[in-house]
Homo-oligomer: A and B are copies of this chain.
Amino acid sequence: MTEHAHDAHHGSGHGHHAHRGGDVEASLERAAATCLARGAQLTELRRQVLRLVLESGQPIGAYALLDRLRGERRGAAPPTVYRALDFLMEQGLIHKIERLNAFVGCAEEPGHGHTHAHPHPHQFLICGRCGSTAEVCDEGVAHAVAGAAARLGFVVHRTTVEVEGICAHCASADATAG
């Protein structure tokens, strides 16, 4: 998980290994193209922060990012990283997981209808056992939320859906081990 729902499991509870380098580079290239097309400035700083988020391969906190950012940018301070994160969220390049106060790269594959489309509907599955997270994009959930809100005359801007539970990997391990 932590990459996409059908991926093999690799979350924060286990390997801590990052994306393969090529994945990150490709994502950065796509991000740059998206921002260019949109007139948004993916500056060097913002690109560095995005790279760090992607390289972590798991939800990462703002201050952990700050520590790493200081490796390449001494004097970086909390606002440095928070401003970059705000930009990246506005562009849909990363998401914040509220329950974890942490940030992850958007796992949406290009060509699934929306390519980093502004705020795309998404949900997070968070495993309480291994800490892995999976971003999913279930239209049924998005539709149900939109419907419930509309029935109350509520105009939806953004939706946060975060499910805590046990991932398939851990569940099968449980079933085997007892």
Binding site for B on A (CB under 8 A): 5, 98-99, 123, 125, 127-128, 134, 136, 138, 140-141, 143-145, 147-149, 152-168, 171-172
Contacts and interface: CB of A to CB of B under 8 A. Distances in A.
Number of copies: 2
A150 to B, nearest CB: 10
A77 to B, nearest CB: 22
B159 A162 contact: yes
A152 B145 CA distance: 20
Q: Which of A99, A154, A166 has the most CB of B within 10 A?
A: A154
Closest 5 CB pairs of A and B: A153-B168, A138-B148, A98-B98, A144-B144, A155-B166
Given A98-B99, A149-B165, A160-B161, A125 B140 contact: no
A167 B157 CA distance: 11
9 contacts: A98-B162, A125-B154, A141-B144, A154-B171, A155-B165, A156-B163, A157-B164, A157-B165, A158-B163
A162 B160 contact: yes
A141 B125 CA distance: 15
